Structure 1
Amino acid sequence: MQCNQPTPVLGFAGFSGSGKTTLLEAVIPQLNAVGLRVGLVKHSHHDIEPDSPRKDSYRLRYAGSDQLLLATAKRHMLFFEYHDNLDREPSLQECLNQLDHSRLDIVLVEGFRDAVLTKVEVHRPAHGKPTLFSHDSNIIAVACDKPLASLTGGNMTSLDLNNADEVASFIRHWLSHATDTEKYLPYCAK
């Protein structure tokens, strides 16, 4: 299947507390250091409020705007407000469509555990949670803080969760060698 889309997408999935954010926080600077422009989509189960009630942007959002773009010399933020009160979760595809792909070489996705995309599982056996890779064929590697017996002898790549160099190297290799279907799976999935 040919899915020539704007930017390769690689997910990082795992249960809460497994270390996804900590790992990405260490890996992103290494990808930047080799010239890769990294976008990130992070899913959260919590309501977010990155604005202060005393600010004009907050006041204008709550006046009823459906979208607000706050622009400064250093950054801009785009707010989407969902006034229908349906507690709807935006899809990964909706989030990807909002990015400026002309400024990116890769999009990393944290969360969206059940979305159809190529993923690295982040797993800590000490947390007592099950692995995801046994039920998700889109997981191509497991970043773990201890070797997993279930990975021994299999075709699943095992990564050291505490070795950001190794994970960054894996991502660079994946970018160079993955098929278009693997790189662009969220755009191709129907």
Structure 2
Amino acid sequence: MPKLLLASNNRGKLREYASLLSGSGFELVTPADMGIDITVAETGTTFEENARLKAAALAEASGILTLADDSGLAVDALGGEPGVYSARYAGENATDTDRNAYLLSKMHTIPAEKRTARFCCVIAIAQPGHIIATFEGTCEGFISTEPRGTNGFGYDPVFYLPEYGKTMAELPSEIKNSISHRSIAAQKASRFLIQIATS
């Protein structure tokens, strides 16, 4: 089975992608699996630019087909924050708990109906030397007033989905993996990867 490098050593992301891409015809490996230790500066101003930067750099370093994503949360009442700074919101060494607390503190005066937000994910797939495809997924919801749930990571505990009456972190993995921004982008990427694997 051909290898596909996931341009991340984030274990939560690896678990999610292993499930989402299980039928793609590729074995998912990480930079750590391949002995690659590079940090790509995420200098893009959009999720797509950052995904492309990471995919190109890791494809070049590994010599194999590489999938990278950039994803984050965009809150309408905060002008799209945290956006591409989602992972660094509340400071460089902040934890998920710190970032969620910081976000909720910035929104404490915002009424329920104005707490609209979306998770965004852009996946870039690269071969050494060039980007061959990008895919986007979004998931619409609201920012809750407190964190709830333990199934997930990042902003999942404060991302409320009214149609389920739960935060993303309260949903079972099967449901989350069918509706999340990453899932939507990964489904598109998986169809593309199947074509590559079978051609």
What TM-score do you get using the length of structure 1 for normalisation?
0.31
Q: Structure 1 or 2: larger helix share?
A: 2
Higher relative contact order (CA 8 A, sep 6+): 1
In terms of Rg, which structure is larger? 1
